[in-house]
Amino acid sequence: MVSSSATGGYRIVTALDGEGPLPRAGQFYMIAAEQGWGGGGERPFLPRAFSVADASAVADGVRLSFLLEDVGPGTHELARLRAGNGLLLTGPLGRPFSAPAELNDSAAGAIIVGGGIGLAPLALLRRELAGGGVPERSLLGFRDREHSGGLELFRCSEVRLASEDGHAGHRGYVTDLLAVMLEGDGADTAVVYACGPPAMLEAVRGLCERRGVEAELAMESPMACGYGACFGCAMPLRSGGYMRLCVDGPVVRAADLETALVEGAGHR
């Protein structure tokens, strides 16, 4: 059974997973609506992948929230869900974000960088870091008002914003804010966590590489199964060969990639 609400140009869908377990930030679920999925032989046929944006243990299971952008038939069906409709969930799947000390043993804090709908996994990450006493600074960027929302999932007032149309915060890219932050105090002991469109992730990857800062990127690719069986989510590695993003990711060490600009890899 779900509840659903609008947040800017996106929607938050909340559902109860009666069995759990509690997911970690960066993990995802394969999701389909119980009704109207593949009906009449029309798309969507397969479940769709969504990062978990919030999770809490409750008496009858785990309450999960997802932030979604309506971009096609599957997300359209999910955006139409209303209170009481059923949701089919498989998860949690994939590799979560690492703790800062796993990326850099002298890490003193974290910088979170989100773009558009990419803020979803970072909202849960921010709360995990805050719960563990890790100092974090959050930078979120949006293309325009229609492609923004979900800030309430961050439950934090200390978020610095950027928008390409200037409707909120710095007019420009969120990576402009990151570039300034990486020049400042303590940048060499920070670790960066990012999720967003491929062009933003590539800018984050390049900035961190040039500054010698460890980073993890939550990536997207088309996913048919979500558990390693179909190889539809293959992503090239810097060392040669491929990973399956659904089982070896979706959180990837930036240093393992030659580029984050991979064909078919996620939102604009």
> Cα separation of 203 and 196, whole Å?
11
Q: For residues 189-248, which are near ligand FES according to CB under 6 A? A: 223-226, 228-233, 244, 246
Query: How far is Cα 39 from Cα 33, in angstroms, rounded to an integer?
Result: 11
Nearest CA among 226, 225, 214 for reference residue 182: 214
Partner from ligand FES, ligand FAD, none contacting 225, C-beta within 5 to 8 A by type = ligand FES
3-class DSSP string for 122-156? HHHHHHHHHHCCCCEEEEEEECCHHHCCCHHHHCC
The span from the CA of 142 to the CA of 167, in Å, is: 9
Residue among 74 and 100 whose Cβ is closer to ligand FAD = 74
Of the pair 159, 230, the CB lying nearest ligand FES is at 230
Binding mask 203-232 for ligand FAD (x = CB under 6 A): -----------------xxxx---------
Q: Which residue's CB is nearer to ligand FAD, number 1 or number 71?
A: 71
Among 2, 32, 54, 69, binds ligand FAD (CB under 6 A): 69
Query: What one-character DSSP code corresponds to residue 24?
Result: P
Q: Build a one-symbol-per-residue string for 37-56: x at contacts with ligand FAD by CB under 6 A, - elsewhere.
A: -------x---xxxx-----
Report whether 97 contacts 218 (CB < 8 A).
yes
Contact string (CB under 6 A) for ligand FES, positions 47-86, x = contact = ----------------------------------------
Spatial separation of the C-alpha atoms in residues 113 and 91, rounded to whole Å: 25
67 lines the binding site for ligand FAD (CB under 6 A): yes
Name the site residues for ligand FES (rule: CB under 6 A): 223-226, 228-233, 244, 246
